[in-house]
Amino acid sequence: MTVFLLGMIIVIPVWIVWLRKAHFLQTWEHEFTHMLFNIVFFHKPRKFFVSDYEGGYVEAEYGYNFVEYLAPYFFPTFAYLFLPLSLIIKDQYYFVYTGILGFFTAYHFISNTRELLHAWYLDNSDLAIAGKFFSIIFIVFAGIISYGLIFTFISNGFAGSWTFLHRGMLHSVRLLTSCL
């Protein structure tokens, strides 16, 4: 866990010096996440465009749903793409792996905060399309799940992430049924 946190801290100077200016990388990750969630929801991507300063977009065959619009704001794509490597990493290199995972997780949190602040003031942003207040509420709860899975993975592996999801769903169902 210490190396994971160190990776999260290391992203700060890297962000200040280089990543905050890496518009293409940030836009690419954002649009790639849209495209990834298009595929998850069986909406075939037709066009993928990314530009350094003009932004980007993904066109999908059957349109979007609100999760596809909001996915880049709650889903740390690079971190999740990196997770399966834990299955083949040798034990002596696992500390490096956790540091890189921490870096990717913090990178998304920082770039996401910047994107959210920017998107809030645009009328044609993903947030505006899905509804700004609904979007913020959904992003917070989906972010708790997305980041929670990574944090429990770091402390207890894939089994810990599964337990986190399972218990969270059970508690949510209990809460909803007690309200009815």
Q: What is the pLDDT along the chain (180 residues), one digit of tens a residue?
A: 789 999 999 999 998 998 888 889 999 999 999 999 999 999 999 999 998 888 899 989 887 899 999 999 999 999 999 999 999 989 899 999 999 999 999 999 999 988 888 888 777 688 888 888 999 999 999 999 999 999 999 988 888 888 888 888 888 888 778 876
Q: 10 Å Cβ neighbour count for 69? A: 20
Residues 127/120, Cβ–Cβ less than 8 Å: yes
Residue owning tokens 């996915």: 71
φ, ψ at 62 (rounded to 5°): -115, 25
Number of helices and strands in the chain (H, E):
7, 2
CA atoms within 13 A on the CB side of 150: 30
DSSP 41-109: TT--EEEEEE-SSS-EEEEETT---HHHHHHHHH--HHHHHHGGGGGT--GGGHHHHHHHHHHHHHHHH
User: Residues near 61 by Cβ (< 8 Å), separated by ≥ 6?
Assistant: 43, 44, 45, 46
Is the CB of residue 126 less than 8 Å from the CB of residue 135?
yes
pTM recorded for the entire structure: 0.87
